[in-house]
Structure 1
Amino acid sequence: MEIIGIVKKLFDIQKFDSGFQKREMVITTEEPYPQNILLEFIQDKVELLNSIRPKDKIKVFINLRGREWTNQEGIIKYFNSIQGWKIEEIQQSLGSSKKTSTISPSLSSDDFDDLPF
């Protein structure tokens, strides 16, 4: 799955005693009724946000995660999270969009548009 939008807010990295780390960001979708979506990046994926700035237009590839938790009273609760695992920046130039991956680039059909046949 993927989400495209404008970076609204980047939060600081959260590090825990267990060695776990995460960083969250909010992305605002571009649709008739824009949504502010909280995304989290965990462990080594935190580094993907190093070159991202507020107001950048990006595409984030995501996984939906859910978990069950039982509170002290024995009541079961459910939580969902959206975890990012890849980011592509989208830059506008002369009415078209150009995508540049923030992780190792891979070839796509767009890379071969200049072939003579």
Structure 2
Amino acid sequence: MELQGKVIAVLPPREGTSARGPWKSQEYVIETHDQFPKKMVFNIFGADRIDQFAIKAGEEISVSFDIDAHEYNGRWFNNIRAWNIQRVDATAAMASAPVAAAAPVTPQPTPEAQPANPFPPTQPGENSADDLPF
């Protein structure tokens, strides 16, 4: 899968040692440029890949990633692991982003065109707009 957007956070790297030796992982947050922007956290595993991609906050990137899930103590967790990062020109990314459509303008009816009140006042002289009990 692939997602394009702006890196809005670079989280601190995590390191450890397993039976296979030392490991390093780092997570990043990317935000899309859609009408309703979405955020996604992805990780890069391996010190060599972290250094190779050298992702910085504010960069426009295209992330190629795989999604996998694992179970731990009866709960399931998603893992979004990036396998390729491409730098994107920021001006091109903003130009290709969909522009939010303006809200449609609804013409206001003229007083002559307004429909009759479906709830007429119950007592003469009563204003139907102020008949709420509270």
- Larger-gyration structure (1/2): 2
Query: Scaled by the length of structure 2, what TM-score is found?
Result: 0.60
| Runs ≥4 residues deviating over 4 A | none
Aligned residues: 89
One of 83, 86, 89 as aligned partner of 1:85: 83
The amino acid across from 1:45 in the alignment is: R
Q: Does 1:46 align with 2:50?
A: yes
Is the Cα contact below 8 Å between 1:14 and 1:21 reproduced in 2?
Answer: yes
Q: Does 1:8 align with 2:12?
A: no
Question: Against the structure 1 CA distance between its residues 48 and 38, is the aligned structure 2 distance closer, same or farther, given a 3 Å change threshold?
Answer: farther
Task: Give the Cα separation in 1 of the matches to 2:80 and 2:56.
Answer: 19
Aligned to 2:64: 61
The alignment's C-alpha RMSD in Å is 1.7
Aligned to 1:107: none
Query: Scaled by the length of structure 1, what TM-score is found?
Result: 0.68
Return 5+ residue gaps in structure 2 as ranges.
Answer: 94-134
Is the Cα contact below 8 Å between 1:45 and 1:84 reproduced in 2?
Answer: no
Aligned to 1:113: none
The amino acid across from 2:49 in the alignment is: K
Task: Give the Cα separation in 1 of the matches to 2:11 and 2:28.
Answer: 6
Q: Does 1:34 align with 2:37?
A: yes
The structure with the largest helix share of the pair is 2
SS of 1:20 mapped into structure 2 = strand
Return 5+ residue gaps in structure 1 as ranges.
Answer: 71-75, 98-117
Question: Against the structure 1 CA distance between its residues 63 and 34, is the aligned structure 2 distance closer, same or farther, given a 3 Å change threshold?
Answer: same
